[in-house]
Structure 1
Amino acid sequence: MKPHNYKDDEFIHLVYKGSKKDEMIEIPFRDIESMDLNKRGTPIPYTMSNVVNLERYMLLYWSPIIGSDSIILFLHLWEYCDRKSGVDICYPKINELALRMGKTAPTIRNILKKLEENNFIITIHRLNRLHNNKETSPIYKLRQTIPLISKEQYLKLPESLQKRHDDYMERFATGTDLEWFTYDSNETIESLKANGDKIISSKSREEIKAVLKREQEEEFIMANLGDDIKNTLIPNKEFLELLMDYNFSKASAEIYFQNSIVLYDSSIFTVHIITQSSSQKEFLENGLNEYQQSNLRKALDKIYEESIYDIKYFTAEQYIMKILKG
């Protein structure tokens, strides 16, 4: 659940694909909001008798593993959330956290990284749409339950704490075994990426505009496509002639499809028709009557010798974006 008055549409929320931050993946905010960190790893059971100001399990068993600073910072992050309303997302500035903790900003970042590696938080970066996509402070999605430590973390505890942990497991987690390896927080990020969309940089967008201005979009598209799709290109003249064989008049074929690029993705039985303008694309999507749509499909079935499942329309700019996004 998002914080009260949080204007998620003002920001581009993203994660980095690689450690070098060379590629950004935009994440829909609804995916962040609906993400349930409590399902990552095995949660410990919650009981009132086992709670002090800080959950005993975290105090006794996580503290030796991640350090007291990590635990205190985790508590600070919750102070930014309206827990009564179920909010588990916050966006404090690093410098403000540093002041609260009496630490340097780099130290706070290292602690946040440790919390994320152990599945207490997930960090989502942001670009501010209202300020020319300038990067601003990230948001943090917080776990509401305390995860069990892993088997290898358990073996790093002093023997006396291992015995206390054995007692805890016997009393509160009967039938639950410690997993050998800590749940990899990268799996959570990967699950977000699955529904994300690669962000195209401002520099790349300017390059695309230059390509369109020089009217070299077909050359660019063909140079950046795989052979499996590139080899399906139908010359525009040949395509127009075939449409006329399927009851399109010469005038309508030229008006609707002049200078369009036609490609076929056989993996999903889908034809891509790429237009030069958004008005041409909009007309093809909404202006063709049922008779024309049926004849277009028949023509495409003939060209590709398969039953076409779908036809998708793009402007040249949209298609180049699609290529760059992979």
Structure 2
Amino acid sequence: MFSPFNSNKMFFFFILFFSTMISISSNSWFGCWIGLEINLLSFIPLINNSNNMLTSEASLKYFLTQTIASINLLFCIIFKMMLMKNFEMNNYIMIMINSSLLMKMGSAPFHFWFPNIVEGLSWFNNFILMTWQKISPMILLSYYYNNNFLIIIIIFNSIIGAIGGFNQTSIRKLMAFSSINNLSWMLSAMMISENLWMFYFFLYSFLISIMCSLFSLINVFFINQLFFINMNYMIKLLLLINLLSLGGLPPFIGFFPKWIIINFLMNNNFYSLTFILIMMSLILLFLYIRIMYSSIMFNYLKLKWIKIKIKNNMFHTLIFSSIISFWGLTLSTFFFM
């Protein structure tokens, strides 16, 4: 769905893939740490571009923040090995390890680097950062986490991901805060079941890939650009369907995993947490609709300065993906009845 791969960067894509496999399949914390470091060193050449100052700045910021998180993680691992029998300190070390992993995935309140780096990346690199780069820290977090600490982090992610999108004109930053909000749902799913987390992550990756493909296709990075672009009505419909699905509005497929998570949380008496997650998702839906407002409400063609030309094969792929997004909840509902 994206621009073709550069042959010079294929090697780093393979390393990125295998470094994640090393992290999640290792039987020691040192092996996990080595996999995370290889992942960091393979992702930087992918996002760095000597012809673009924004990508160079983003790669430097990403390296510094990830290095701080890695140093903190390594320190906690060594400290844990030294104080193996001290049960009083184990809880504090657990929280420190969780904080390091949360910082690596861009979770609130350690999200200070995430929107700034997203702003300097292409849509394809944004897709990798919002999906693949979260796999290793999330799986490592599922091995070893403090339940009460994780609930606080879920609330932080939900609130900051929704409120942070206000007063933003950049679509990439809005998608970054959307990713932070969706991270709260992923962490909630991880507390319930790893299979549920994998299901939510797969659907989120599917929806975010469609959104990044559409924005890359029409070459849009800011909300006000949609005002000047003469887009086909089908593209507007695809954007609207997938944005609402990403926000979790029924009857779209994005609501299905959230529906399951809400049921599990309500059955386990997490009423206040469920209320916060639902209300923040409604705020996020408002921000998504704001993206489409300029292109849907202003249809006077003399105001449109730029004409978009789209390749048919790419367009048909996006239409098929959007049909799955639109009918997915209905089909899955009949399947589970």
TM-score of the aligned structures, taking structure 1 as reference length: 0.24
Higher strand share: 1
Higher helix share: 2
